[in-house]
Structure formats: C-alpha cells, structure tokens
C-alpha cells in the first residue's frame, strides 16, 4: 500500500484467524521496531479469534521512508490501512486497534481523526505517551540531564521543516479529546521510559467509554510479559463488551 501522502510504499502482514470471522485487530508497533516485533500480541489476538493486520510504519521494517513520525504522520496511514481492509475483506468488519509504546501513542492519535471508519469498535493502547513534545522533553531530562530549552524546541522546528509537523502538534492528549469510542489504557507501574504518570491525563482526556489496567511491577512495554494471563483476560473482557 502507498502511504497517505502517496509517496511511500508501506508493507504489512495479514494473518487470518483459525476460524472465519469478521473481527480484525490492526496493530501498531513501537519505535525502531517492525511488524515482526508484534509476535506476542499477534499470537494473543489470534488465540482470541481475531484476524491480524500488522503494518510496518514509515521508516520501519520493510516500509519506505527516512523520517520517523512518532505516530503522528502514521495516524493517517493507519486510517488508509483500515479502509483497505474494509475494501478487501468486506464492510462488515469489526476492527480493534492495538499498539504498544509508540504504537500506543499512534493508536490514540488515530482515535481523534474525524474519518475513522465506523467499523472501528474499540482501541487498546499500552504505555503510549501524552505527546511527542512531552516524551522527548522527559527523555532529554531523564537520560541526558538536559533542560527542555533550547534543545526540544530546536529539534521540533527541524521536524516541522523536514516532516511537516512540530512536536507539540503531535499530541495523543489532544486527539483523545475528540475520541468517543471505547478505549482500554494499559501501563506498567514501574515504567520509567514512558512514565506511568502519563497514564492518568491520557485516561482523563478521552470522551468515550474507558478502562485502565496498571500492571504491578511491569517496566516499559513489559506489561504483557509480566502477567500474560491477566493481560489477556483484561483485553478479552474489555473487547467482548463492544464486539458483536
């Protein structure tokens, strides 16, 4: 598939469920990862009876591109993937979007788009950040002991020039304020990469039905591995409320 901007070739894998179904999960991967890194959650959703569509974001895996969008430019590509899915698999699809870390932020950013297909029934985000600006600022301080100014505004300006967006614009919080569909928020209690403190403002921002699940002792993107059984049960129980 070509990107929403029409200039990049994007790749994905599609795994049909063991038994025919119209339930499909669209999965968003993390920073510098790829669709292959989605093996564990893909297997979980396959066990839950879902078809799995897992794209490579721009500048990741087999997809073209040199600029990483941190979920912001990718959000439009995911809308296009969903529409492609509906065209190839039928309009009766029931879609869930799921993502971890940058993929979680991507999921939330997608949720605020006005043209999200009506077939999207719910979202599951795991340890996504509030905004690119917040995450870069946090990382600059925690990893390099650098203040926000002048580093982050300078890098944000470069992003605006090269990629067409600045970091404050790329906000999951602002997108969630426009979302009315159900969302499950997951975060590890010991996450120091995307701090657990980001969970509460994200949870409060969305306008749709919502639940949150904090996994005790889990570090960044380790919630599923920390307590797989409860993680799977929580996701299944949440989605069963909104899937036919």
Q: Which phi and psi (to 5°) does residue 65 adopt?
A: 120, 150
Contact status, residue 184 vs residue 212, Cβ threshold 8 Å: yes
DSSP 3-state of 97: strand
91 burial via Cβ count (<10 Å: 0-12, 13-18, 19+): exposed
Of 237, 238, 236, 185, the closest CA to residue 214 belongs to: 185
Write down the pTM of the prediction.
0.95
**Of 38, 20, 25, residue with least CA distance to 235:** 25
Give me the percent of the chain exceeding a pLDDT of 70.
Answer: 99
pLDDT value of position 182: 99
Q: Measured between alpha carbons, how far is 6 from 180 in angstroms, rounded to an integer?
A: 29
Average pLDDT over residues 89-114: 98
Query: What is the rounded distance in angstroms from the CA atom of residue 86 to the CA atom of residue 97?
Result: 14
Options 3.40.50.1820, 3.30.43.10, 1.10.730.10, 3.40.50.300; CATH for 12-130+171-238 is 3.40.50.1820
Mean pLDDT to the nearest integer, 144-157: 75
d(CA 136, CA 159): 12
Delimit the CATH 3.40.50.1820 region(s) of the chain. 12-130+171-238
Q: What's the pLDDT tens digit per position in 168-217?
A: 899 999 999 999 999 999 999 999 999 999 999 999 999 999 999 999 99
How far from each other are the two terminal CA atoms of the chain, in whole angstroms? 29
Name the residue with tokens 């990629």: 163
Q: How far apart are CA 32 and CA 230, in angstroms?
A: 28
* Number of neighbours of residue 144 by Cβ within 10 angstroms: 8
* Average model confidence (pLDDT) across the chain: 95
Among 32-41, 90-99, 157-166, the minimum mean pLDDT is found in 157-166
| pLDDT at residue number 166 | 83
Beta-ladder partners of 171? 131
How crowded is residue 9: how many other Cβ atoms within 10 Å of its Cβ?
11
- Residue 146 pLDDT: 67
Q: What φ, ψ does residue 200 adopt, rounded to 5°?
A: -60, -50
| 135-150 pLDDT tens trace | 999 888 877 666 777 7
């Amino acid at each position: 598939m070509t990107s929403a901007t029409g200039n990049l070739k994007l790749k994905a894998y599609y795994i049909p469920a063991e038994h025919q179904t119209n339930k499909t999960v669209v999965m968003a991967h993390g920073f510098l990862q790829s669709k292959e890194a989605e093996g564990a959650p893909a297997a979980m959703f396959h066990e839950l009876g879902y078809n799995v569509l897992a794209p490579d974001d721009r500048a990741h895996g087999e997809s073209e591109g040199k600029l990483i969008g941190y979920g912001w430019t990718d959000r439009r590509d995911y809308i296009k993937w969903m529409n492609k899915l509906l065209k190839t698999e039928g309009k009766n699809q029931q879609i869930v979007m799921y993502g971890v870390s940058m993929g979680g932020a991507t999921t939330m950013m997608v949720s605020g788009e006005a043209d999200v297909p009506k077939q999207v029934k719910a979202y599951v985000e795991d340890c996504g950040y509030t905004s690119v600006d917040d995450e870069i600022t946090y990382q600059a301080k925690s990893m390099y002991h650098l203040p926000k100014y002048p580093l982050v505004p300078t890098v944000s300006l470069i992003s605006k020039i090269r990629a067409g967006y600045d970091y404050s614009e790329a906000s999951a919080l602002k997108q969630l304020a426009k979302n009315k569909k159900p969302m499950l928020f997951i975060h590890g209690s010991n996450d120091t990469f995307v701090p657990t403190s980001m969970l509460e403002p994200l949870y409060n921002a969305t306008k749709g039905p919502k639940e949150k699940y904090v996994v005790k002792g889990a570090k960044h993107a380790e919630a599923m591995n920390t307590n797989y059984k409860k993680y799977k049960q929580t996701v299944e129980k949440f989605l069963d409320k909104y899937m036919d």
